[in-house]
Structure 1
Amino acid sequence: MITEIAQIEIHPGHEQEFEEAVVKALPHFLAADGCDGVDLYRSVEHPSRYRLMVRWETVAHHTVTFRGSEGFARWRALAGPHFAAPPQVEHVQSVLAP
């Protein structure tokens, strides 16, 4: 399992609209081949900064399958207008399991 971490800076004052856009886009993520769940976190210190965490079976499920899909296009159409800058994305793998 791979976790995509996208740090997303949005335009100040767009927090409510951005969160609503993510809720609308959620079914597109969950329907994507290889997606195992999505979490959205908002920074306490920087309220216009979010971290979208998506669990994927493989990196390719995100970078090839999802990014080439209509679901990704819908996600960007819904959330993209609120981005203050392009999201910073990385993929991580757990190395510590309790």
Structure 2
Amino acid sequence: MITEIAQIEIHPGQEHDFEEAVAQARPSFLAADGCHGVDLHRSIEHPSRYRLVVRWDTVEHHTAGFRNSEGFARWRDLAGPYFAAPPQVEHVHSVLG
């Protein structure tokens, strides 16, 4: 199991609309092969900064599977207009047992 963490900066003043767009896109993530959940976290110190956290079976489920799917296109269509910059994405795994 790996975790995708995407730091997303959005245009100030569009937080509510962005959160609604992510809520609409959430089923596209959950329907993807290998996806085990998705959460959205908003920064307290920087209210226009978010972390999208998605749990995948493997990196390939995200990069080769989801990114080449209609679900990904839907996610970008819904949330992309709010991006102030391209998301910064990394994949991590737990090192504590």
**Please, what TM-score do these two structures have when normalized by structure 1?**
0.98
Q: Does 1:12 align with 2:17?
A: no
In structure 1, what is the equivalent of residue 26 of structure 2?
26
SS in 1 for 2:68: coil
Q: How far, CA to CA, are the matches of 1:73 and 1:12 in structure 2?
A: 24
Shift of 1:52: 0.2
1:25-44 maps to which residues of 2 (within 5 A)?
Answer: 25-44=25-44
Q: How far, CA to CA, are the matches of 1:40 and 1:66 in structure 2?
A: 18
Q: How far, CA to CA, are the matches of 1:66 and 1:59 in structure 2?
A: 10
Deviation track 1:7-53 (CA, whole Å, cap 9, x = no partner) reads 00000001000000000000000000000000110000000000000
Amino acid at match of 1:60: E
SS in 2 for 1:67: helix
| Paired-residue identity, % | 79
Shift of 1:59: 0.1
In structure 1, what is the equivalent of residue 3 of structure 2?
3
**Please, what TM-score do these two structures have when normalized by structure 2?**
0.99
Structure 2 unpaired stretches of 5+: none
Structure 1 unpaired stretches of 5+: none
Amino acid at match of 1:8: I
Q: How far, CA to CA, are the matches of 2:82 and 2:40 in structure 1?
A: 15
1:1-98 maps to which residues of 2 (within 5 A)?
Answer: 1-97=1-97
Q: How far, CA to CA, are the matches of 1:41 and 1:67 in structure 2?
A: 21
Amino acid at match of 2:93: Q
